[in-house]
Amino acid sequence: MKSNSTCKLGAIVVVLSLLCPTIALGGGLSVVVYDNFDDGNFDGWLSTPYWGWAGTLPNVVSSPEGYALQGVGSGYSQDPGLEVYISHPVTLSNVGALRIEMRARSGSQWPNASEILLTRGNDAYLFADYGEGNQMAQFVANINGTWGPDCRYPINATPWHDFAWARDAIGWWSLSIDGQELWHNFVQENRLTSFDGIGLHPLRNQSEIEWVRVTAEVVPVPGAVLLGAIGLGFANYMLKRRSVS
């Protein structure tokens, strides 16, 4: 008899996991997109226009850890360089904490930058290893056509660096480079909580991206929490009832 109750409990949990996967996983669903391009191709990535960029494919070149994406052309006379853009579709909603990572470098020739974007339609968070001019690690939001905040941390962009921009559950951003947090809670920005794509924009041939990783923490909605509590309570009741009988 107890095994029958266990089966019912399992069935209820399966239903709950389909209706509310965050409850089934203990609250908080980590969604990770990662690519190191070591296969030397663009599987999963699309060459789609964005913000006026035509969606030209970047070059794939050898790098210290395998392969990297490299921008096209040099200087402002090479128009195709500006057009390089590939995107990876995602479907994320109700996002709280975020972590955007990439290994990249960017030369000092003007213009050059290695950029990763997290997009929602035409709105986006942009993260850059900015090599031209005043070299920096940059975070900037573009929402409803308005740029800002625009946060810049000075660096030497020419060598390879591992970058990580992290947003906590209440919207505070911090920057780590090569495993060391260098800029804690530099801005509070959490207007974007849903996303439909990840974009890569290596600008010109001195800019390279070796790998990217995006992790998002999905926050359970109140209705899902209530559904989970009711369902698990009913499952516990059924288990006790069957055990007594």
Tens-digit pLDDT profile for residues 37-62: 988 788 889 999 999 898 999 999 99
Looking at the fold, whether 74 and 162 belong to one and the same domain comes out as yes
Please report which confidence band the pLDDT of residue 128 belongs to, taking 50, 70 and 90 as the band edges: very high
**To the nearest whole number, what is the mean pLDDT of the chain?**
81
Contact 56, 84 (CB under 8 A): yes
Q: How many domains does the structure of the chain reveal? A: 2
Residues 215 and 104 in one domain: yes
pLDDT at 77: 66
- Residue 160 buriedness (CB in 10 A; 0-12 / 13-18 / 19+): middle
Q: Which residues pair with 167 in a beta bridge?
A: 98, 173
- Domain check: are 214 and 233 in the same one? no
Query: Is the domain of 245 the same as that of 135?
Result: no
**92 and 104 inside one domain:** yes
Predicted pLDDT at 119:
98
The residue whose two tokens read 């070059």 is: 59
CA 186 to chain centre: 19
Residues 60 and 159 in one domain: yes
Does 77 lie in the same domain as 179? yes
Q: Are 137 and 245 in the same domain? A: no
Q: Is there a single domain that holds both residue 8 and residue 78? A: no
Q: In the numeric block, which tokens belong to residue 24?
A: 């089934």
- Clarify whether residues 22 and 41 are in a common domain: no
Query: In this structure, what are the phi and psi dihedrals at residue 77, rounded to the nearest 5 degrees?
Result: -75, -15
Are residues 7 and 62 part of one domain?
no
pLDDT of residue 41: 80
Measured CA to CA, the distance from residue 196 to residue 221 in angstroms comes to 19
Looking at residue 222, its pLDDT comes to: 59
Domain at 82, CATH number: 2.60.120.200
Can you give the residue range of the structural domain that contains 2?
A: 1-27+222-245
Same domain for 214 and 236: no
Q: Alpha carbon 56 to chain centroid distance? A: 21
Q: Is the pLDDT of residue 243 over 90?
A: no
pLDDT exceeding 70 applies to what percent of the chain? 76
pLDDT tens digits, one per residue of 2-22: 333 333 333 333 332 333 333
First and final C-alpha spacing in the chain: 8
